[in-house]
Every structure is written in structure tokens, then in C-alpha cells.
Amino acid sequence: MKKRIAVLPGDGIGKEVTKGAIEVLQAVGERFGHQFYFQYGLIGGEAIDAVGSPLPNETIEMCKQSDAVLLGAVGGPKWEHQPAHLRPERGLLKIRKELNLYANLRPTSYYPSLAESSPLRKEVIEGVDMVMVRELTGGLYFGKPSKRTRKNGEDEVVDTLYYKRAEMERVIKLAFQLAEKRKGKVTSVDKANVLESSRMWREVAESVAKEYSDVELEHMLVDNAAMQMIKNPKRFDVVVTENMFGDILSDEASVLTGSLGMLPSASLSEAGPYLYEPIHGSAPDIEGKNTANPLAMILSAAMMLRLSFGMHEEAEAVEQAVNQVLDAGYRTKDIMTFGKKDASTKEMVEEVKATL
Amino acid sequence: MKKRIAVLPGDGIGKEVTKGAIEVLQAVGERFGHQFYFQYGLIGGEAIDAVGSPLPNETIEMCKQSDAVLLGAVGGPKWEHQPAHLRPERGLLKIRKELNLYANLRPTSYYPSLAESSPLRKEVIEGVDMVMVRELTGGLYFGKPSKRTRKNGEDEVVDTLYYKRAEMERVIKLAFQLAEKRKGKVTSVDKANVLESSRMWREVAESVAKEYSDVELEHMLVDNAAMQMIKNPKRFDVVVTENMFGDILSDEASVLTGSLGMLPSASLSEAGPYLYEPIHGSAPDIEGKNTANPLAMILSAAMMLRLSFGMHEEAEAVEQAVNQVLDAGYRTKDIMTFGKKDASTKEMVEEVKATL
Ligand SMILES: CC(C)[C@H](C(=O)O)[C@@H](O)C(=O)O
Ligand SMILES: CC(C)[C@H](C(=O)O)[C@@H](O)C(=O)O
């Protein structure tokens, strides 16, 4: 197959890990006889520096014409004191909106070889296997008004949590479709005892559930979900929630298994292209040191092979190679524990390629 | 001293644990020569059943005329399918608003004797000692509009995150005042890379910080805070945040040390009375079984002695009694571990009284 991949390395370690993932994809192409065409675009701080915008139109156009998008990471202290519209994160929010990436998927699973890097006890995380599905283009992130006003001499401010029914429906449906192929359980997280939007969310979840009789639906309040995630993460299969709750809970989930530097994500739209990125940020403190963990980016590329290109065997080959490299004891700094083999970003990539 | 205490036992185990705390307060009164007058009021499901409202006016009046309010817990499956205005939680939200309880304080600290009940590794939680300060009468909880509409044949919904500058200021100030008497550090949690309200929150925090030169201020994004809470909870001293973020993060924090059934809270207003309640809910599944842990309620009463009545010695006596009972090995079901002494709610209360 021939595939066009838009590559947006971004800032900080984004560049290093993206480079690694592309080498792995080239190796996959050679082994399985595919042709991947990589086109590079600017996003984030790099784009601000180069052309004065965190997401130039050329980048958007290029992404729209590609079969899938790979994103590294954006942001860094250099741009932290810029006005809001000139901050790297804006590029991220804008590409989500432009590509209509309404659902962010984050699988979290237990790696026996990494259990020691987790802050949780082994008994608690052993066997964890969940997917967080976060609504990504609505809610407080994009609702209007979002502004300050002065009334009777006092500053006040408002942000708006806004959803259309159809926006809730499509992401909840996706969660049910995923659950059908997994353990058959959807946990829908809301704050229905306080928010009107959550009461509607709950109703939509109930009505979607009727179409999926083989999937069990449970509702959970967001505060309780924040507790259960730590107390008993094994109880979850697919968790679906709105944008802001999803931002918080998926970051909480990402540290459970001690493998933050290993976690990929996929952001889906109705018509494609989809976007793939590691969960970790741009980590400016270790930029250019050849110590970043490239596995989350490599596993994001594997998700792309599977979800965007339908290349199941290829995706599995990459995932297996990653597992074998871990089993062989190779570790970047973030997941290093006593007795293992210290590996640089490049060495880790080489090992994965060699194992492929 | 003479003090009038409004007692709202509420639903589920609320009744049992409140009864225990009152017995302990009576013992304190005898030992230290104080007179506590207890007046009982209805709230929650019980109030709905009795008079058709989750917070009758008589309860509000009684609370306003008291020196402090003790609340058990509200809610239960019986009222779960009622319309929103007839749900127990409404009573809770309303009393916060009526008494102007703008700041909820939740101390979380490490109990060596309970370390085994925590899902986290001992090294991670050893020495944790933080206070969450949550804004309690603003934000998404009370902002208008909060409603559905139909536009072009489609349902849409909106909730509103609204704050006045003064509402941010007073709760952030309180956090700094607390930090002055503690480890001298305030972590202000927001989502300034997305929300306008958070950008204003951050500015207010910066300007309050100028008045407290001996306190260090750090800003943290809410998603990162959800991670740090698990990865490195020891780094926190006082954490301050808006209502919804506080709801989620304080519940997350409450499970860290394995002592959910032990955690008290205080809700403060500008002019008093303050309200004290345990963090745990009404736990309808164990209602009336004499197995609920009364310590969170007893420790809430201790907070009342200290914060509302200035009775420092008395508060310490209660807290020490609780510690001694734990050291002696007594445990209710929720904190039971191998080799300890199984105690009922009543036995636990008796032990605390005897130790006093
Ligand atoms: C950078 C920020 C705007 C973004 C978000 O909140 O969505 C990030 O935290 C994420 O989760 O991808
Ligand atoms: C019951 C509910 C409305 C309440 C809240 O969200 O404030 C509870 O979760 C709490 O934290 O006291």
C-alpha cells in the first residue's frame, strides 16, 4: 500500500521521538512492502518562531490531504508568556477543531516489566486494561462566551460548557463500538448531580446503550471516577467522558501503570485523517539529550497502522517488537529500574528496528 | 464556654457517625468544662421524605443562629430518580450557598498505622501532609445559564463557569493564610492554557501572593495536578483551586493515604457559622449495620473545636485519642488489615471516649 503521512514533530523532545517513529515506520514499510510518504509541517512554538502562528494554514492543508497525521508534542517555557493566541497549545486546539477530531482514545495497559515504576501497588494495577475515550472538540474548551467583563466596577469572568446532542452521541457511540470488541463494558463519567450538560450526557448514553445490547453501561460521577481510578483501576474497560473531565481523568490514568513514557493516543474524526500522538508532553528539560523515551511515539505509529491503514499484522509486529525490547531489559531513563540496561533514545529505536 | 451546635445527621450512615461524634463532644465538654447545646435539623433525603424539601427553611434558620454546624452525609438510592430539585444533594448545595461557605478545607495526612490500606506504595505516601482548599460557592456549580434549548431541531445544552474577582481573591487569600502556618507553599491549580477564568485565577493568585512574601506560590495545570497527586503527593502543602477542579482533585487526594473513612472537612464563610462534615458519603449499603467508621466525623468535630471555638487543647485531645485508638489496633471494616482488632461503630466511639 501507499500512504501519505503528515508529520508534525513540534517542540522539545517531539522532534527526537518523531524521528525515531519514522525510522520504525520505514522498517515496517520495507518488511511488509508498503510505501510511506512523509511530509513535514510546522506546529506549536516552532511554527510561532518561523511564521508567527502556532498552526499555519499550510500545515492544515497538508494534514487534510494526508492519510494520517503524526504529531510529536508542543510547548515550552520559551512561549509561556506569550499572549494566548500566540501560544503553542493553540496550535493543538486548532488542529483538533480543523480536522474535526472529536474523540481522543488513550489505551492504558499493564506492562509487567514496568510494574516497579508505578506509584501504585502491584496488586492494584496487575491486569489493568482500559481505554479512555475523551470528547475532544466541545465543552469548556470551545464554548462561547469565554471572556472577562467589568460590572459595577468589578471584574467577572465566564467560560461556557456547551454541547450539542449530536456531539455527545457520536463519541458515546464510538465508546460502545470499542467496548463491543473488548470486555463489553462502558463507564460513562459525568457530574449529573450538578450539571445540566451531564444530565443530558447521561440520557444520551442511555439511549445509545439501547443499540448495543451486548455492552453493559454504568454511570459514574467524575469525583468518584477520580477515586476509583486509583483504588480499583481494573474495574474499567472503556471509559467515556466530556472534554475537560477527560483531560483530567486521562492524565490521572496515564500514571497508574508507571508507563507514561509508553502511552500512545489516537484522535479520530468522522471522515479522517486521524491524528496520532504520544501522551507525554514536549519535556523541554531533556530536549536534545538523546534520553527521551521514543516508545509512546512508536506505539502511536502502531495505532496509526491499525486504525488508519487497517494494517493489523504490521501494528502487531511493532507492538511485539516494543515488548521484546522491554523484556530484553532495555530502558530509557524515565522507566529505568535497578538492574536494567540504560538505553538512549537512539539505541531504543535501533533495538526496536532490529527486533522487527 | 457555651456553644450552640446545629446537627444535621442526614441520610445513611450519617446518623450513626453523627451520634458517635456527639457523644465524643459531650465527653470533651465534661472533661474541659464546656457546655455544648445540640439542636437537630433535617437535610437531604430525610428532609424530602418528611417535608418535601431537601433543605427546609427551619434548618437554614437554625444553622444561621448556631455557632457551628455538624453535617453527617446526604443521599441514597431511594431518591436517585427524583427530579433534580427534589434530590438530597440539592440540600447540600443550598446550605453552602445560604451560609456562604466559600471555602472547603480538606486536610489529608499520612497515618503510619493505615499505610497498608492505601493503593499506593508506602514510599510514595510516607509523610504526605496537605490541605486542599476548594472554592465552594462559585464556578460551574452555580453559574447561569445552566439549561437546555432546542435550536434548528437539535437539542443543545449549556453550563456556565462564572466567577467574580472577589470570589477568587478570598479563597486564595485563605490558602495563603493557611500556608503561612504550615509549610509555606501554595499550589494554585487551574487550566490557564484553555480557560479565561483560569487566566484570571492565575492573575489573582499572583497579586494575592504579593501580600504574603513568606509563602511560595506555584501554578499547576489541573491535568498535571491529577498526575502529581499520585506520583508525588509529598510535594504539596496547600492546594487551592476552583469548585469543579476541587471536587475532582480532593476526592482523588482522599484515597491516597488509604484513610477515606478518616478524613474530615471544614467549610468556612466570612462571618460564620462554619460547617463540618466527613468526606465519605452516606454509604447506604452499610446503613444501620453498626460498621461505619465514625472517625472522620469525630475528626470533623475536632476541626470544629479548633476553627470555630478556638479550643485548641480540646481539639488536640480528640485527635490524640483517635491516634491512640488506632495505635491500640482498633479498626472498623473499611480500614481493617490482618492482625488488627475488628471494632464496630459503637465500640470505636467508646474507645475514643475512654481514651479521652
Ligand atoms: C495542551 C492542552 C491544551 C491539552 C488539553 O488540555 O487538551 C493537553 O493537556 C492534552 O490533554 O492534550
Ligand atoms: C454531592 C455533590 C453535589 C458534592 C459536590 O460535588 O460538591 C460532593 O461531591 C462533595 O464533594 O461534597
A324: in domain: yes
Closest-CA distance, B220 to chain A, in angstroms, reads: 13
* Beta carbons of B255 and A147 less than 8 Å apart: no
Tell me, using a 6 A CB cutoff, whether residue B92 lines ligand 2: yes
Model confidence at A257, in pLDDT bands (50, 70, 90)? Answer: confident
* Beta carbons of A195 and B120 less than 8 Å apart: no
* Beta carbons of B255 and A197 less than 8 Å apart: no
A79 is in an annotated binding site: yes
* Ligand showing the shortest atom-to-Cα distance for residue A104: 1
Residue B258 has a pLDDT of 84
Indicate whether B332 and B234 sit together in one domain: no
Give distance in angstroms: CA of B228 to centre of ligand 1. Answer: 16
Indicate whether A30 and A48 sit together in one domain: yes
Of B255, B275, B292, which closes a domain?
Answer: B255
Annotation says B223 is catalytic? yes
Indicate whether B39 and B82 sit together in one domain: yes
Model confidence at A337, in pLDDT bands (50, 70, 90)? Answer: confident
* Beta carbons of B156 and A162 less than 8 Å apart: yes
Per the listing, cell 427534589 goes with: B86
Average pLDDT, chain B: 96
Indicate whether A150 and A243 sit together in one domain: yes
Average pLDDT over every residue of B278-292: 94
* Ligand showing the shortest atom-to-Cα distance for residue A191: 2
Give distance in angstroms: CA of A238 to centre of ligand 1. Answer: 20
User: Which string of DSSP letters, residue by residue, matches B223-277?
Assistant: HHHHHHHHH-GGG-SEEEE-HHHHHHHHHHHHTTTS-GGG-EEEEE-SSS-EEEE
Which of A159, A195, A197 shows the shortest C-beta gap to B197?
A159
Contact (Cβ atoms closer than 8 angstroms) between residue A300 and residue A21? yes
Q: Is residue B116's pLDDT more than 90?
A: no
A175: in domain: yes
**Helix or strand or coil: residue A134?**
strand
Q: Is residue B139's pLDDT more than 90?
A: yes
Of A255, A273, A307, which closes a domain?
Answer: A255
Query: What is the Cα–Cα distance from B113 to B108, expressed in whole angstroms?
Result: 15
pLDDT tens-digit readout, A88-132: 999 999 999 999 999 999 999 998 888 888 999 999 999 999 999
How much of chain A exceeds pLDDT 70, in percent? 100
A122: in domain: no
Average pLDDT over every residue of B51-61: 97
Indicate whether A288 and A222 sit together in one domain: no
Model confidence at B259, in pLDDT bands (50, 70, 90)? Answer: confident
**B chain contacts of residue A280, beta-carbon cutoff 8 Å:** none
Query: What is the Cα–Cα distance from A40 to A162, expressed in whole angstroms?
Result: 34
Indicate whether A146 and A200 sit together in one domain: yes
Half-sphere exposure of B236 (CA within 13 A, CB side): 36
Which of B155, B222, B231 shows the shortest C-beta gap to A248?
B222
* Beta carbons of A227 and B255 less than 8 Å apart: yes
Contacts 24+ apart (CB under 8 A), B168-173: B168/B135, B168/B200, B168/B201, B168/B204, B168/B205, B168/B242, B169/B204, B169/B208, B170/B102, B170/B103, B170/B270, B171/B102, B171/B103, B171/B133, B171/B135, B171/B240, B172/B201, B172/B204, B172/B205, B172/B208, B172/B240, B173/B208, B173/B211
pLDDT tens-digit readout, B97-106: 999 999 999 9
Indicate whether B176 and B62 sit together in one domain: no
Q: How many domains does chain B have?
A: 2
A41: in domain: yes
Model confidence at A234, in pLDDT bands (50, 70, 90)? Answer: very high
**B chain contacts of residue A231, beta-carbon cutoff 8 Å:** 119, 255
A113: in domain: no
A290: in domain: yes
Ranges A49-58, A315-324, B329-338: which has the least confidence: B329-338
| Residue in A with minimal Cα distance to B147 | A196
Annotation says B340 is catalytic? no
Indicate whether B84 and B141 sit together in one domain: no
Model confidence at B64, in pLDDT bands (50, 70, 90)? Answer: very high
A67: in domain: yes
Model confidence at A81, in pLDDT bands (50, 70, 90)? Answer: confident
Buried b (16+ CB within 10 A) or exposed e, A69-105: bbbbbbbbeebeeeeeeebbbbbbbbbbbbbebbbbb
B250: in domain: yes
Of A255, A274, A309, which closes a domain?
Answer: A255
Query: What is the Cα–Cα distance from B247 to B157, expressed in whole angstroms?
Result: 22
Indicate whether A94 and A147 sit together in one domain: no
Residue B85 has a pLDDT of 86
Angle at the Cα of A254 from the Cα atoms of A249 and A258, rounded to 5 degrees: 145
Indicate whether B154 and B178 sit together in one domain: yes
Annotation says B247 is catalytic? yes
Average pLDDT, chain A: 96
Query: What is the Cα–Cα distance from B235 to B132, expressed in whole angstroms?
Result: 13
Q: Which pTM does this prediction carry?
A: 0.96
Q: Is residue A322's pLDDT more than 90?
A: yes
Which among A259, A242, A253 is positioned nearest to A104, based on CA atoms? A242
CATH number reported for the structural domain that contains residue A141 in this entry: 3.40.718.10
Q: Is residue A260's pLDDT more than 90?
A: no
Indicate whether A269 and A235 sit together in one domain: no
Which of B195, B197, B252 shows the shortest C-beta gap to A227?
B252
Model confidence at A205, in pLDDT bands (50, 70, 90)? Answer: very high
Indicate whether A66 and A30 sit together in one domain: yes
Q: Domain residues for A48?
A: 1-103+263-356
Residues of A tagged active-site: 141, 191, 223, 247, 251
